[in-house]
């Protein structure tokens, strides 16, 4: 049915792709959510109608089956009365109701399948709507950041002439050189401090071992 096809299209839709391809992502996101809400309302209505139809079919099925049983009981009664003509008519009527019941039984099964499909579509659409709503603020913010960054980059490209760019590159190189020199000095200082502590710890260990040796010799 067309409703399920529209729901399936919305469920399969990738929100991120839609935003990337849209000229106005914010407008696209709001429209997608609005479409989902409208389809959700339609599916809910259709589920309620389908369930009501299923109840009607169930009732007609039960009535047909009961009528078939009732006419079969009448046929038995006619047989007991030795009235074959009436019994034959009752059996024929019972068979008619049984045939009708079989038809309703198939309709009931088909209706149950449709109800389950609609319920499944409703659940998927609800999940997709929650996902879209939770992502909408994030995607809109992300789009705005991207747009602001693009504008900043464009402004940077349009600023100054080649001489300005060259001066900026020289300044950047100088800054990097200064940072590298400072880093090297820091590493040398760190190595010097580590060496001093290592020597100190070595002397402490030597003193400890020597004192242990003296104590053992004295005890001996």
Residues 151 and 171 in one domain: no
Residues 15 and 118 in one domain: yes
Q: Which of 133, 159, 185 is the last residue of a domain?
A: 159
In residues, how long is the chain? Answer: 220
pLDDT for 85 equals 92
Residues 127 and 178 in one domain: no
Cα end-to-end distance, the chain, whole Å:
104
Residues 56 and 100 in one domain: yes
Q: Tokens for 209? A: 């071992």
3-state secondary structure of 22: coil
pLDDT for 205 equals 78
For the chain, how long is the longest CA-to-CA vector? Answer: 135
Alpha helices in the chain (DSSP H): 2-12, 15-21, 25-80, 84-158, 162-219
Structure confidence by residue, pLDDT tens digits, 60-80: 999 999 999 999 999 999 999
Residues 61 and 132 in one domain: yes
Q: Which of 139, 159, 179 is the last residue of a domain?
A: 159
Rg (CA), the chain: 43
Residues 28 and 54 in one domain: yes
pLDDT for 186 equals 62
Residues 120 and 187 in one domain: no
pLDDT for 68 equals 94
pLDDT for 38 equals 86
Residues 14 and 56 in one domain: yes
pLDDT for 216 equals 74
Q: CA torsion sign, 199 to 204 to 208 to 214?
A: positive
**Backbone phi and psi for residue 107, each to the nearest 5 degrees, phi listed first:** -65, -40
pTM reported for the whole predicted model:
0.52
Q: Which of 115, 131, 159 is the last residue of a domain?
A: 159
pLDDT for 182 equals 65
Measure the CA–CA gap between 155 and 114, rounded to whole angstroms: 58
- CA 203 from chain center: how many Å? 65
Domains of the chain: total: 2
pLDDT for 14 equals 60
pLDDT for 94 equals 93
Q: CA torsion sign, 24 to 29 to 34 to 39?
A: positive
Residues spanned by the domain of 43: 2-159
Give the chain's residues under pLDDT 50. Answer: 161
pLDDT for 23 equals 63
């Amino acid at each position: 049915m067309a409703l399920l096809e529209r729901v399936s299209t919305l469920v399969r839709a990738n929100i991120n792709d839609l935003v990337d391809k849209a000229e106005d992502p914010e407008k696209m996101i709001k429209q997608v959510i609005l479409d989902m809400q409208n389809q959700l309302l339609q599916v809910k209505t259709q589920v309620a109608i389908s369930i009501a139809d299923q109840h009607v079919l169930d009732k007609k099925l039960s009535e047909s089956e009961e009528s078939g049983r009732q006419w079969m009981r009448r046929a038995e009664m006619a047989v007991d009365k030795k009235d074959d003509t009436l019994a034959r008519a009752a059996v024929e009527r019972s068979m008619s109701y049984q045939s009708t019941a079989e038809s309703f039984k198939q309709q009931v099964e088909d209706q149950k399948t449709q109800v389950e499909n609609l319920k499944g579509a409703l659940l998927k659409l609800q999940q997709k709507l929650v996902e879209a709503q939770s992502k909408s603020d994030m995607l809109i913010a992300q789009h705005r950041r991207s747009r602001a960054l693009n504008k900043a980059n464009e402004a940077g490209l349009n600023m100054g002439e080649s001489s300005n760019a060259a001066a900026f590159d020289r300044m950047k190189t100088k800054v990097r050189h200064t940072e590298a020199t400072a880093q090297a000095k820091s590493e040398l200082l760190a190595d010097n401090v580590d060496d001093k502590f290592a020597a100190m710890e070595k002397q402490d260990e030597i003193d400890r071992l020597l004192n242990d040796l003296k104590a053992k010799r004295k005890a001996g």
